[in-house]
Amino acid sequence: MNPAEVVCETLSGDEQIPNNQKLPLLLYPKALDTSNGNLVSICQSLFITNGWQGSWQNGIFSYDHYHSMAHEVLGVCVGKVKVQFGGKKGIILPIASGDVVIIPAGVGHKNLGASPDLCVVGAYPPNQTPDICDDKTMANPDSRLKIIRNIAQTNLPLTDPVYGTNGPLLKYWQDSKKHTI
């Protein structure tokens, strides 16, 4: 993959969705070869081979949600979907079969509309278990502090879920960590 093809977006938080001011959301357009048969199996195997775990197959929730204790990769295997990342003030990206999105801990995501055949495979870095937080979770001051702490303490993955030890994720996220306070 040509690094110029990677879409990289750092999203600011608000009172409902914290997002992640240190790590950018990454979109790898057409990262998966859609001509090779059962893309679900291929995608699951690819993520597992590259050290990501907890693989699942489904769609994307139609409400704002995020994970405070895990980064997440989504591979679109069939269909297309319009996703809002970062909450109401965030960005809207259309993603389709073959696209992969890597979502840092804390970044909100919501399905705004999908084709009826949508199938997404998701996974997480080792030793990261996703909690599901919604746009109301941060209303409680104690919860807010815990969420912000969880996001900051979520370890960087050691591998890119698509490209392994040489993937763009490592450069983008390690460079982001170096340049933030």
- Domain membership of residue 181 (yes or no) is no
The structure's pTM equals: 0.93
pLDDT at 3: 53
- Domain membership of residue 14 (yes or no) is no
- For the chain, give the mean pLDDT: 92
- Domain membership of residue 7 (yes or no) is no
Query: Which domain covers residue 56, as residue numbers?
Result: 22-163
- Domain membership of residue 169 (yes or no) is no
- Domain membership of residue 144 (yes or no) is yes
Model confidence over 28-48: pLDDT tens digits?
Answer: 999 998 888 799 999 999 999
Convert 17-56 into a string of H (helix), E (strand) and C (coil): CCCEEEEEEEEECCCCCCCCCCHHHHHHHHHHHCCCEEEE
Model confidence over 17-30: pLDDT tens digits?
Answer: 999 999 999 999 99
- Domain membership of residue 147 (yes or no) is yes
- Domain membership of residue 6 (yes or no) is no
Q: What is the mean pLDDT of residues 132-148?
A: 89
Number of domains the chain is built from? 1
Residue 180's pLDDT band (cuts 50, 70, 90): very low
Percent of the chain having pLDDT more than 90? 80
Query: 53: domain CATH number?
Result: 2.60.120.10
- Domain membership of residue 68 (yes or no) is yes
Gap between the Cα atoms of 73 and 29, Å rounded: 13
